[in-house]
Structure 1
Amino acid sequence: MINHHHLILRVVTKLLVGAIILFAFYVQFHGDFSPGGGFQAGVLMAAAFIIYGLVFGLDKTQEVLPPWVVHKLSALGVLIYSGTGVWSMMLGYPFLDYGAFDPGHPSHGQHTGILAVEAGVGLTVAAVMVTIYYGFGARYPHISDEDW
């Protein structure tokens, strides 16, 4: 049964979540040219799912983004970040020396390396923030709603 309470809030939330996710991608991919980057984009991305969860409930949010997917994404983000550093070491450069990715044009290598590292940071931050929300949202309330 669909709950028709707070219809305006539900409609506005559905509109805002898409815009927030789009802005998170903008911050992610323009983080090396403007203020922002992986951390800010990750927090924005997580905020979109948290807002969705606050309005539609934890169960609906976990249908959209299951907890097992969130845990895998956090590990993947760390793997991308560390893999970028290991890859530069395998090419004979120091850890996270982005010049290794394009020795002919170090500025291109810098851009590629920064994008990879920021993608790993963004993915990890978003997944960890959503995991924290899932952890707090799944707690059993000690005070019933009627006692408030």
Structure 2
Amino acid sequence: MRTHSVLRTSTKLLMPPIMLFALYVQFHGDYGPGGGFQAGVIFAVAFILFTLIFGPARARRVAPEWVTTPMCALGVLLYAGVGVATMLLGGTYLDYNMLAHDPHHGQHLGILLVELGVGLTVWAVMVTIFLTFVERHAQREAAADPDAEEDGHA
């Protein structure tokens, strides 16, 4: 097995800035371009890069299925929960003004929570889809060549 030390080191160096940029996009989304969808995609890209370099077995140790699957629903529940909370507080669905004493603060909090829900869902769905395809591909290769290594590296 080749170790690809340059790729592994480069990936380890690139992961923190990519994820930091995703956080910037996530929390700056209500002030400018960006938001939950874009941040979720950037986080997923960082994880996909990790998977391509270190293999699906190690990626699943970092983000096991028992984490990614509930995250798909958690983001949607957060989004919907903000809407239900605004209705329970006497407003209409996703009427962010109801979330705080000041409408400006309510708008900011509502957008932040909804975008966070979108980001979680996008990240989890992209990672789940990608790892599902990678794992199925690895299973087909293992069935075709029983001598191949399990982590997807030849």
TM-score by length of 2: 0.87
Structure 2 residue corresponding to 1:108, chosen from 97, 105, 108:
105
CA displacement at 1:59 relative to structure 2: 0.3
1:121 maps to 118
Distance in 2 separating the partners of 1:124 and 1:80: 10
CA displacement at 1:5 relative to structure 2: 2.2
2:6 maps to 8
Q: Which amino acid aligns with 1:55?
A: I
Which string of whole-angstrom CA distances, capped at 9 and with x for unpartnered residues, describes residues 15-54 of structure 1? Answer: 1111111111110000000100000000000111100000
Distance in 2 separating the partners of 1:68 and 1:11: 28
CA displacement at 1:143 relative to structure 2: 7.3
Q: Give the 5 Å matches for 1:19-98.
A: 19-98=17-96
Runs of 4+ off more than 3 Å: 141-145
**In angstroms, what is the RMSD of aligned CA positions?**
1.6
Q: Percent identity?
A: 54
CA displacement at 1:4 relative to structure 2: 5.3
Q: Which runs of 5+ in 2 are unaligned?
A: 149-154
Distance in 1 separating the partners of 2:97 and 2:30: 15
Q: Which amino acid aligns with 1:57?
A: G
Q: Which amino acid aligns with 1:101?
A: L
Q: Which runs of 5+ in 1 are unaligned?
A: none
1:99 maps to 97
Distance in 2 separating the partners of 1:101 and 1:117: 12
1:138 maps to 135
Q: Which amino acid aligns with 2:56?
A: L
Which string of whole-angstrom CA distances, capped at 9 and with x for unpartnered residues, describes residues 65-104 of structure 1? Answer: 10110011111111110000000000110000101112x4
Distance in 2 separating the partners of 1:26 and 1:77: 18
Distance in 1 separating the partners of 2:61 and 2:18: 19
CA displacement at 1:133 relative to structure 2: 0.6
